[in-house]
Amino acid sequence: MTLIKSISGIRGTIGGKTGENLTPVDTVKFAAAYGTWLKANSEDKKLKVVVGRDARISGKMIQELTMNTLTGLGIDVVDLGLSTTPTVEVAVPLEKADGGIILTASHNPKQWNALKLLNSKGEFLDGKAGSKILQIAEEESFQFADVDALGKITIIEDYIEKHIDEVLKLKLVDRDKVASAKLKVAVDAVNSTGGIAIPALLKRMGVEVIELYCEPNGHFPHNPEPLKEHLGDICELVKKEKADFGIVVDPDVDRLAFIDENGEMFGEEYTLVTCADYVLSKTPGNTVSNLSSSRALRDVTEKHGGSYEASAVGEVNVVQLMKDNNAIIGGEGNGGIIYPEAHYGRDSLVGSALFLTYLAENGKKVSELRSEYPSYFMSKNKIELTPGLDVDGILKSVEKRHEKEEISTVDGVKIDFPENWVHLRKSNTEPIIRIYTEAKSQQEADELAQKMIREIQDIIT
C-alpha cells in the first residue's frame, strides 16, 4: 500500500496504516494544510473552495472528510458531487472561488484516490505553493474556526451541464455542423463521471451515442488507463455498431483517446495533434507539449507557420510555457488537450467537441484523417539502477557523449536526432531512469531504446 506526497497533491491507496496510505486521518491533515495555506494567503475575507470527485468507490468518503475539514477551518465549500477534473477547473473562476480540490486518482486503479489542488484560476498549484502545503501538513500547524465562524456547504448538482454550456460557446465548436453530419459515436467512460459528461455533450451536439461502461459506480470494468491493451471491448463495439468512431476517457475525464471506424486505435499522441491541426487551421499560432510527447505536434505546428516549444513533464509546466509563449493550444501526448480559449487545463470535453467539429467539417473518415499525419512510433522503457549511484552524473555523461546533437536539459536529458529522439528522466521515488524514444518505425524506436540502455550500462561500468 502506498501514500505519495508531491507538490501537486497527495495520492494513495485506501485503507491500512496512517502515514502509509490515504486514510481518513491523512485526508483530513492534507485538506487542513491546503485550507491553512489558502487562509495565510488571503486578505482576511471569507474563503470559498470548489470540491468535486470522480466516481471511484472511496470518493464519497474522501469528499465528506475534505469538505468538513474545510468548513472546520471556516471556509465555505461549493459541493459539485460527481464531477470531472476539467469541470472543477471551470467551476473555480465561475464561482469566484479561492481554490478547488479534485478528488480523483486519475487513471490509477480503484483502490487509489487523491486530492488534487487548484488555485483561484482553477489551475494546478505551482511548486512553491505545493511545497509550502506539504510543510504545513508535516508541521500540523492548523488553526480551526470557532463555532460561530464555521464554513457552510452549498450543493450545485448541474455543473457538468454548465461546463458543457461553456464548451458549446467556443468559436471553433460548431454544434449545428456536427448535428448535420449525423455521426454515431461509441463511448467508454470506465464507469466513472465521463459516463455523465461525454454522452451529455455528444447528445447536445446532435450525435447518436452508444454507451459502454457509462454508469458512474466506480467499478472499473478494465484497467482505467486508456491504452490499447485495455480497450478491446470498445474496439469491438465500434465495429459491431458500425459507429463513425469511439471516444475513451479516463476516470476524471482529462485524458482522451479515439478509436477509428475500423476499431483501431487512433493513437493517444494524435488526439492533441489532430485538435491542434484544426485549431491552427482557423487561428494560426504557437503550440506547446511536454518533452516526452510526439514530434508530430511540432510538424503540424510548423506546417501552419507557428512555433513549437517543449516543456518539462507535468501539466503545470506545460501551462506555464503555454503562457510564456502565447500558445493557442497545447497539452500532453497522453491525450490531454489544453485549449486556453476554454481554460488552462486538460479537458476531454473540449477535445471531443473540437474533434467532432473538425470531422464534420472535412467529411473524412477517422482512419483517413489519421493517415494524413506523419507516423511516429514510441517505445517506453526503464533501466533499474543500484541505489546510491549518481544518476545526475550518469545523465551528464550521456549529454556529453551527444553534445553535437540538439539537446534539452529542462527535464532530464532529451536528445533530438535528425530522424528520432530519446528522452531520459530520473525517477524521484525510485532508483531508475525512464527512457522514452520515438522514431518512424516501432523497430527503430525499440532499437534506439536498447542502444541507450547499453550506453548507460557502459557509463556505469
* pTM value surpassing 0.85: yes
Assess contact for 76 and 47: CB atoms under 8 A. yes
For residues 193, 195, 200, 202, the Cα torsion angle rounded to the nearest 10 degrees is 120
Assess contact for 145 and 74: CB atoms under 8 A. yes
For the chain, what percent of residues have pLDDT higher than 70? 100
Residue 335 grid coordinates? 491525450
DSSP letter, residue 148: G
Who contacts 329 (Cβ-Cβ below 8 Å, separation ≥6)?
272, 275, 276, 279, 280, 285, 287, 337, 338, 339, 340
Residue 352 grid coordinates? 471531443
pLDDT at 184 over 60: yes
Assess contact for 261 and 245: CB atoms under 8 A. yes
Assess contact for 183 and 159: CB atoms under 8 A. no
What is the secondary structure of 374-429 as a DSSP string? PP-EEEEEEEE--TT--HHHHHHHHHHHTTTSEEE-SSSEEEE-SS-EEEEEE-SS
**Which sign, positive or negative, has the C-alpha torsion 284, 266, 332, 418?**
negative
Q: What share of the chain is helix, strand, coil (3-state, %, to 5)?
A: 40, 25, 35
Kindly report, residue by residue over 81-107, the tens digit of the pLDDT. 999 999 999 999 999 999 999 999 998
Instruction: Provide mean pLDDT across the span 439-457.
Output: 95
Q: Rounded to whole angstroms, how far apart are CA atoms 286 and 322?
A: 8
- Residue among 70, 92, 202 nearest 145 (CA): 70
pLDDT band at 428 (very low <50, low <70, confident <90, very high): confident
What is the per-residue pLDDT for 376?
95
- Residue among 129, 133, 131, 149 nearest 141 (CA): 133
What is the per-residue pLDDT for 378?
92
Who contacts 22 (Cβ-Cβ below 8 Å, separation ≥6)?
3, 10, 11, 12, 13, 14, 62, 112, 113, 114
- Residue among 53, 54, 102, 51 nearest 76 (CA): 51
Q: Output the average pLDDT for the chain.
A: 95
Who contacts 156 (Cβ-Cβ below 8 Å, separation ≥6)?
78, 79, 80, 91
pLDDT at 43 over 90: no
User: Where would I find the beta strands (DSSP E) of 84-214?
Assistant: 99-103, 112-118, 153-155, 184-188, 208-212
Kindly report, residue by residue over 329-351, the tens digit of the pLDDT. 999 988 999 999 999 999 999 99
The lowest-confidence range among 55-59, 313-317, 326-330 is 313-317
Length of the chain (residues): 461
Instruction: Provide mean pLDDT across the span 125-152.
Output: 94
pLDDT at 386 over 70: yes
Q: Active-site residue among 8, 58, 83, 106?
A: 106
pLDDT at 403 over 60: yes
Give CA 294 to chain center in angstroms.
Answer: 16
Is 6 a residue of the active site? Answer: no
* Three-state secondary structure call for residue 10: strand
What is the per-residue pLDDT for 1?
55
Q: Rounded to whole angstroms, how far apart are CA atoms 400 and 420?
A: 18
pLDDT band at 6 (very low <50, low <70, confident <90, very high): confident
- Residue among 274, 264, 227, 262 nearest 248 (CA): 227
pLDDT at 371 over 60: yes
Instruction: Provide mean pLDDT across the span 40-65.
Output: 94
Domains of the chain, CATH where assigned: 3-157 (3.40.120.10), 163-371 (3.40.120.10), 377-460 (3.30.310.50)
Give all strands of the β-sheet with 245-249 in edge-to-edge order: 208-212, 184-188, 245-249, 256-259
